[in-house]
Every structure is written in structure tokens, then in C-alpha cells.
Structure 1
């Protein structure tokens, strides 16, 4: 790969932008040109073989086929233009340490988002929280927020229990440089003390503490009742018998953090995407803090990767082709999308600032400190209320855009329209791992097997004739004002038998569920006026 190196004021660059080798680029362009030539020949054939008007059926068939081929050609041109010039990013965290002292590094506000304690179990949530708490970063500059859209007291209880475990887990991680730093993921892979552990008893004690934590939390999840309110924890008083997932106290939002920590960098991650790389923050900061190339970077997006995908996955869950090919190509145009998780934002960009060349970030700014906890709590609650947003720009030009299921993508596009660039960073060690509910040549190049490619094609076919078709119909109904958009969570817990079938490569079609989903959808279409 060919890379660029920009040096300003004798300071080495904190990241490099590399292009693929020339031979690989020429080979792809030759391949793309042959496909385009084939498309042009098909268009030429259609234009020179128009059926006579006397044959109505043939003429209609010709019209529909021509329209489909014109659309395919247009789609191919768009794809070709995007894929013409991919770029790959490389960060230099060692240079970051040489250029900036620890006290000069910016604070980072991390938001972990969850929405349903049933589909997203509390143990899953707190494992992700613990993984980001254990980042290789000055702890006084880390601020972790859990945004629970379900307002679950069970999740709050689990978080409180995890805070005690964190006092032992985080020092252990930093002492032995543990990876990954999600306790659930770590102990699932390490069933016995590793060889580099100087004190095996310490490892065993920590493992027992984690098992006890799982037992206590799962017991509360199953019973739905908090056994005893811990002394000194006032938060439990916010719940009563009238509290539901649809009617609960306000959740933590971006603007709330402005009166608590107000860090220049905001990172958000879904509760099922734990941190797999303790150096991800420093890697991301290489892009923001580069004096020559980082002034206009609005956000750094990490790819989505999954840990529970088996070899030759039958459901087409791996997105290696997208991560290794499509996203670097989007990055080449400065237009990498924001996907709602695993993303580091510049606070000013996310809160609506328009980029200008004379803008200079104050990375060491801090929020006004207050000793009055009640005053701070009152300000935070005021900012969190829904009424605060009335007649304001929040949800329109500030923060995450409201009003559509793809609010994250729309938010990213708005940031780019204000003059900010986005960066896609895909390190060798994946930054985040989650749970999962082209061409053969491209798939093989990206590390897929032929069987994985074939399974992906099968799933594309199923999606096109089922979910995509229903989604298109639903979009038309929504545009006509017949229905409203909604958001559905995928379950993060698996049936044991279904998991075994998945590992064996047997498809669990869920016929009963599919039958009732389609029936209910059709009924809703008929029932609504």
C-alpha cells in the first residue's frame, strides 16, 4: 500500500492514509470496466430490438426488462464510482504518547445504550459497561453513562452490583494487560488461569466474584424484585409500581453530560457491542489530535463485528465484504456513515457547530465544578426532560436526529453537511465485538469462504422477497400517512436448541413465528383506514 506522510512543525503525523497497491487497483478497475461494457451492450441490444406495437405482450415485457436493466446499470455506476478509490487508515498511538502528555489528553464521555432488559439482559449490559470502564486511558478523563430507554430498575441494580466488581476487575485488567476487557468474554475464553498470571489464586478469586455477580443479577432478573435496597443509593427511590418501560424517569442524554463532564469527545456503543481493544480511545484520538489532518474530522467510525458467528454462517451475518471493501471506499470520498455504535464524535460537531478553517478545539476544557450534588442533580434532570426540547434545535440540528428509524445515518449526514469529515478505522484487532441475530471473488479476498459467500447469497434472496418487500410496502404506507415508523429490538439471548442447530449449519426457519408475523402485518394493513 502507498501511504501519505504529512509533518507539521517537526511533529510526525498521528495517522496515515494509505491506498491499495497499484496492481490491485488496476486489476479491480479492469474487472469493473468489463462489467460496465457488458451493461452497455445489454442497453444497446434493448435499444435496437424494440418489439413492434402490434405485439402488446412482448412490448410490455420489453419495457419492464429495459427499466430493470437501466436501474441495474445506474446502480452499478453508483457502486463503481464509490469503489473506484478506497483508502485505508493507520493510527500511531505511540506517537500520540510522545506528542501529548497524559494531562493534555481530552476527556471522553462514553454512552452505553440499552432499551429492553428482556431482549438485552442486564449481564450483557454491565459486561459492556465494564469493558469500556477498563480502557487504557487516564481514569479521571473517562466518564461512563448508561442510557436505559426502558427505565429498568433491574438494570440499575445490575449496574450498582457491577460497580463493586469493577473495583477488582479494572486493576486486574491493567495489571495483566487483559484482552478483551469484558469479563463475560474474557472468562468464556479463559477457563483456567493463563500462564502469564503471577498469582493464579487472584484469577480464581476474581472468577468466583464474577460467577457470584452473575448469580445475584440473574436471580433478580428472574424474580423481577430487588432483594434489598443498598444503603446510601438514592437512585432506587425513582422507581415505584407505576414505573413502566413506556413511562419512567428521563434517561441520560448527550446534553446532560454537558453539566457533568462536558468532555470534547463523545463515544457511543450499543450494550451488545463490548470493547475488544483497550487501546481504541487512543487510536481514535490519533485522528482528532493530528495538527495537520485532524482539524476537520467530525467523527471516527469503527466497523461492526460479531463474535458469535460460526464458520460458514448460514444466515449471512458476517459483513466482511462491507467492512473490508465498501467502507474504505466510502472513506475515500470522506463520507463514511455513522452507524449508531462504535463511534467517536467531536462534541462540537455532534452539537451542531459548522466547521470553519479558523476553528480550534480546546481539548483540555473542563466543566464548571460544583460541590452541591443536589444542584448538579437538579440541572441534569432539567436537561433530561422532554419539555426542555420544545422550541429548541435538539433533535433537529443538535444531537441525534429524531423522527426516523435511521436516525444515526441521518445524523452523520448532517454532520458532514456542516463541513466536517468522517473517518473509517478498521484496525487489525477489532475495536468492538457484538452479537449477530457481492461477489465470490470479493468475499474470498475479504477472508470469507466459498460456503459463506453462498450462504450470504441465499439470505439476500430471502430478504429481498420477504423483509425488503414488506419494508418497501411499509415505507409507501408511511409516506401516505397510513402507518407510523417504529423501532424493533433484536433479542440478544438464544434458545439452546436453536444455537446448536445454528452451529451445525441447520437453518431454524421459525415457521410459526414467521406465519404469525406476516398474518399480523397483513391484518394491520387491512384494519387501518
Structure 2
């Protein structure tokens, strides 16, 4: 039967185990909360109130997380059967939308590699179009794509002739490829193209004397002295036209279009969502593809058959008419062996997404999504919208990206699911796309902070997942979105358990029941159950390593003391009308040293970031309290009273080892800045002295 199918799905065998565990764990959580309520009624204290708040947040987040595990499914596709259902000439037109914003942070050569990898798809070239949104309005980026288009006329036939799988030239030539008679010539051609682009990047502009075509010279002439990335007119340049351009073998070339939308200092531009909506309008005018692929500029194609895998769902005769998009998980290349910053996001992209797929479908992850597009014939009105930046773009029927949040991807998929559309997660063994990830701690934390600030913006609007979502879609699916949008509230229990038991221990005040009393078994079961379940999902079912799991849980603690609370803080300040731009900083460590530290699995603290301050203070408080606990045990024999507090302190101390290294043991430029170390030490001592006045 499989030979006659385009795709199949099956429920994961572990589902019944998840449900049994959820029932048992829920009962224990309920018992703990009831005990908290009893304590609040009969003997309320500031400590009991604080612990109840922390445990209530943990319970709520755990409850919403169980929705991901209720009905996870696994899918398979059979692209080899596609031609049994539809001929190649009947494939729908495919428009690929790639966004870039800053040539200094997103090198044009890398963006060109992404475009080349999709221009070389195993897809009819007359039905393939690639659109580049340059939100930075950089003439350097346009020049890079003009050079890339020339190289593409050699690269595409080379890939298809030899059935090359890695179709990003940079990746291909770095992978020690098989040698063919023309390989050396293609590589030399690529290196010359790369050198020309990098030379222009270093000079900061394009010399018009080097541009021969008059039409292209006219395009570059738009970069006047008054032109800036925040204020400039619309620029649309068709670089490759499939009705005209041919490759060196005489084959049709795909379309390649450069777009830099109009920007004005007086009008909101709505960031990536605004850029994508403009690309949708331009593509609607020029090629009007039935399928739209959205890609980040650093997310190159890793499988030339990816569009065919998506078509296995869209072209299925029995496909659901409400199928809105097919999502391929984000995967990353260049992550170090143990993934010290948890940049793989394995849980979100490869584990929890299976659960959403078993409900109404996975969320859009900002890249790697194939959307079914509605079409419009109002081309004149559309062009006026492009020129004037009309906010009505957000009301586009199916794939118009929604405004009002930094995480337009999650918000858009949430609204689509509310409107009745469904999605599918396609997770083949070979990753469809591979992208870059942060290689220093500050960038990793800043990225998380930005995402969860955007999630808060989703939760606190009129389309709140827990109110509007539950009314508009499967309640379990709505609670999945609720879980994501409220993750920053994890900072409450993490901060409480990172400081309160330790401060109490420093003041010789026992907070929990004695080690052999019944109350301890509740906390032990909940801790071991939560961590054990997470370990099984990550390592046993998810195929991850034990070291990566450990680093992932450590980063969760660090996020809870940095990215999560600062996301809450910045969202609150923004809601009150205050600017928060001062919190964003960049690493001062050289790129070479940063790369070396990352490859060695060493934390990079090489910047005085405010995000480092809370967890640095917490690591010192826990170290002090752990030492004090040993003194209480060996001098006063109070192990039973302080065992739980010592365990919590010890657990944090073990997780904080990279922080202690950065503060004291290291001498490289990625160590913790001395100023930040001294400030953390002073604050930790001040907290201890202040707490001694309370206990």
C-alpha cells in the first residue's frame, strides 16, 4: 500500500505512557497545591505565599505542556510516488520569499548561498521564483545577487547534471565533494564571485563605473546621499527572468527578483511581517505562485527534493481543503558537539511540534513553511499598497502576516488555526533546511528574550490564546499556544527557588519538612518525575545525547534568570511607553576567538551584558549557601532539616560551574568581565546582609 501513497501518519506508541504519567503526576501536583492552600489558611507567612505562587506557576505551565503529549503523531512522505498522481507540468508555481535586513550582520555572500540553494531545487524552473526582501536597502546586497545570478547560470546545471545534494555552494565546497571534470572550474568561478562581493562589502558601496548595463546603472543611481536604511523609496529589480534568461546548458532559469520596500521615518514598517507582506504583493503581481515558501536568509536548502515533499500533502487528491501550510522543522548546522547554548531547540522543533501536529498542526516557525496562497486580481490597488505601506496588508486572506508582535510567525499561525486552517509537520530524516545559530551567550540570551517578549504581546491582546483561542479552535491546541506565550512566567518559580531556600539556609532557617517526613516525598517525586520525563523525551524518544539534555536543562535555568524576566520587564516597560533599546548589546570578542571558544564548548561571557547579572548573583548565593549547609551538617548535625535546601543549592552549583570558571579560573577574552563579577559579588553579599535583618 505504501507504494500508492503520497504520505502516511501514525500515532506514537508512547502516547498511552504519557497519558498514564500525566494522570499520576496531576494527582500529586493537586495534592501539593491543596497542602499549600491549607497552609495559607491556617498559617500564612511571606515564605508560604511565595512558595505557593512559585508552585502554582510550575503547575500551570506543566498542565499546559501536557497538551503537546496528548496525541503526538509521526508522518512519512513518499515523493517517489508523486508522478503517479500529478505530472511535472502540472506542478503549481512556487514563490520563495527570503528576507534579509542588515548586510553587516547577515553577510550578503551567505544570503546569496541561501538563494542559490533554492534556485537549484529539483523543480521545474519555469514554475520557480525567488524573491529577496532587503529591508536594509543595501546596494551591496543587490550587487551580491547580481553576481550570484551570473554564477547561478553555471551552478544550477552543474548540480542537476551530477545530482548534487548540497546545493549551497559554500557548504558543497567545504564538504570535500566528489570530483567531476568541471568541479575545479565551478569552484574557481564561485571563489571569484565571492571575492568580488566581499570587496564591495568592505568598500561599503558599488562603484557605478563597474556597472555596464544602463538599466542596472539606473537602479543603483537610486542610492543617493539622502538614501538611508530607514528612509528610502521602493526598489524592485528583476535580476533573472525565466522568459529571457538561460543557463549555460540552454535550460530555463528561475525568476530572481530583488525588492527593497519603501520606508519612511514617519510610518511603522512592522519589521519582518511587513517585509513579507510586501513580497507577497510583488510576487502576486509578477508570478502569483499557488505555493509560497518563506525562508530566513541564513536557512539554506539541505535537500533539493523538499518542494516535492511539500507537494505530497498539497497535491494529494484526498487532501483536506483547509490545509493552510506545511512546516519543516528548523535545523541548524555548526552547533558544537554538546550544544552548550541549547540552540538546537530540539524540544520545540522535533518533540512538542509532533504533539501540535496531532491536533490542528504545527505552528509556523518563521522559516521553512510552505503556504497555500489565495490570489488577488486587484493589481492596481496592490501596487498602491506597496508604494504607500498600507496597513491593510495584515488582512490578506490566508498568508498575510499579522502585525503587533515581534513573533509574527507564531501569531500568524495562531490566527490561521483560529480561522479553521490546518497545518502539517513534515520532518524527514535529512533536514530540509539548515541555518545558523548564536555562537556566544549574549546573542543566545538576547534571541530568547526577543522571542518571549513577542509571545507576551500575543497573549496580551484581544486574540489571547486562552480566551479567544479556546473559543475558536481545539482547546488543547489553544493551550499549546498558551504554553508558548506564557513561558516567560517560568522566571517566577526559577527565581524563587534560586534565591529563597538559599537565603533561608544562609540564615539557618529550615524551609521544608525533614528529610524522612512525608512532605519530602511530594517534592522528590515532582522533581524526579519532571526531569525524568524530560530526559526520556529528549534522549530515549528524541534521539538526543545525555550531555545535550544536561546543557538544555541548564540553559532553561539560565533563561529563567535572564531572558525570561527581562522579556517580562521589557514588555512591561514597552506597554507603559518607555524605550528599552538600551538593553541590547553586542559581543566585543573577536569573531575568530568567539568561534574557537564555541567549538571547544566554552561559554563566552565576553561582553558586559545586563543579562548575565541575575544568574551570576544567583550562582554566588547558591555557592555561599551550599558551603553554609555543610557547616550546619558537620558542626550542628542538622542534615535532616536542611537536606532539601542543600540539594537545591548543590543542584544550582553544579549547573553554575561554567559561570564560576568565567569569573575566577579563565583568562581568555571570553571570561566574565571583572566589573560584572565584582558587581555580582557585591550584590550577593548585600542580599545576605539584608536577609539577616528579616530572618
What secondary structure is seen at the aligned counterpart in 1 of 2:182? helix
Structure with higher Rg: it is 2
| Residue 277, structure 1, aligned to residue 303, structure 2 | yes
Alignment deviations for residues 339-379 of structure 1 (CA, whole Å, 9 cap, x no partner): 2211111112xx79xxxxxxxxxxxxxx99xxxxxxx9x99
| Residue 224, structure 1, aligned to residue 319, structure 2 | no
Instruction: Indicate how the Cα distance of structure 1 residues 382 and 48 shifts in structure 2: closer, same or farther if over 3 A, else same.
Output: closer
C-alpha distance in 2 between matches for 1:447 and 1:474: 36
Instruction: Indicate how the Cα distance of structure 1 residues 121 and 457 shifts in structure 2: closer, same or farther if over 3 A, else same.
Output: same
| Residue 236, structure 1, aligned to residue 220, structure 2 | yes
State the match for 2:574 in structure 1. 478
Instruction: Indicate how the Cα distance of structure 1 residues 275 and 488 shifts in structure 2: closer, same or farther if over 3 A, else same.
Output: farther
1:108-119 mapped onto 2 (5 Å cutoff): 108-119=94-105
What secondary structure is seen at the aligned counterpart in 2 of 1:109? strand
TM score, norm. by length of structure 1: 0.83
What RMSD, in angstroms, separates the aligned Cα atoms of the two structures? 2.9
TM score, norm. by length of structure 2: 0.64
C-alpha distance in 2 between matches for 1:282 and 1:211: 31
Counterpart of 2:537 (choices 442, 454, 479) is 442
State the match for 2:410 in structure 1. 409
8 Å CA contact 2:92, 2:127 repeated in 1: yes
8 Å CA contact 1:277, 1:429 repeated in 2: yes
What secondary structure is seen at the aligned counterpart in 1 of 2:285? coil
State the match for 1:34 in structure 2. 24
Deviation at 1:230, TM superposition (A): 3.5
8 Å CA contact 1:405, 1:485 repeated in 2: no
Instruction: Indicate how the Cα distance of structure 1 residues 513 and 31 shifts in structure 2: closer, same or farther if over 3 A, else same.
Output: same
Deviation at 1:203, TM superposition (A): 0.4
8 Å CA contact 2:303, 2:431 repeated in 1: yes
Deviation at 1:240, TM superposition (A): 1.8
State the match for 1:430 in structure 2. 431
Higher RCO structure, 1 or 2 (CA under 8 Å, sep 6+)? 1
1:44-443 mapped onto 2 (5 Å cutoff): 44-50=34-40, 52=42, 58-190=44-176, 193-194=177-178, 197=179, 200-227=180-207, 228-232=210-214, 233=216, 234-250=218-234, 251=261, 253-348=279-374, 382-387=384-389, 389=390, 393-398=392-397, 399-437=400-438, 439-443=534-538
Alignment deviations for residues 474-495 of structure 1 (CA, whole Å, 9 cap, x no partner): 111222333489998999x981
C-alpha distance in 2 between matches for 1:488 and 1:281: 37
State the match for 1:363 in structure 2. none
C-alpha distance in 2 between matches for 1:286 and 1:237: 45
8 Å CA contact 2:585, 2:609 repeated in 1: no
Instruction: Indicate how the Cα distance of structure 1 residues 490 and 385 shifts in structure 2: closer, same or farther if over 3 A, else same.
Output: farther
Larger mean CA deviation between 145-154 and 334-343 belongs to 334-343
List gaps (5 residues or longer) in structure 2: 235-260, 262-277, 439-530, 615-674, 676-695
State the match for 2:8 in structure 1. 16
List gaps (5 residues or longer) in structure 1: 353-366, 369-375, 520-529
C-alpha distance in 1 between matches for 2:182 and 2:78: 34
C-alpha distance in 2 between matches for 1:454 and 1:82: 22
C-alpha distance in 1 between matches for 2:361 and 2:579: 32
C-alpha distance in 1 between matches for 2:590 and 2:65: 36
State the match for 1:456 in structure 2. 552
Instruction: Indicate how the Cα distance of structure 1 residues 517 and 257 shifts in structure 2: closer, same or farther if over 3 A, else same.
Output: farther
C-alpha distance in 1 between matches for 2:583 and 2:383: 26
C-alpha distance in 1 between matches for 2:34 and 2:71: 28
8 Å CA contact 1:301, 1:344 repeated in 2: yes
Instruction: Indicate how the Cα distance of structure 1 residues 141 and 486 shifts in structure 2: closer, same or farther if over 3 A, else same.
Output: farther
8 Å CA contact 2:586, 2:607 repeated in 1: no
Instruction: Indicate how the Cα distance of structure 1 residues 152 and 494 shifts in structure 2: closer, same or farther if over 3 A, else same.
Output: farther
Deviation at 1:157, TM superposition (A): 0.2
Instruction: Indicate how the Cα distance of structure 1 residues 516 and 156 shifts in structure 2: closer, same or farther if over 3 A, else same.
Output: farther
8 Å CA contact 1:51, 1:59 repeated in 2: no
Deviation at 1:451, TM superposition (A): 1.4
Aligned residues, how many?
471
Larger mean CA deviation between 291-300 and 139-148 belongs to 291-300
8 Å CA contact 2:361, 2:425 repeated in 1: no
8 Å CA contact 1:51, 1:62 repeated in 2: no
Larger mean CA deviation between 413-422 and 164-173 belongs to 413-422
8 Å CA contact 1:93, 1:282 repeated in 2: yes
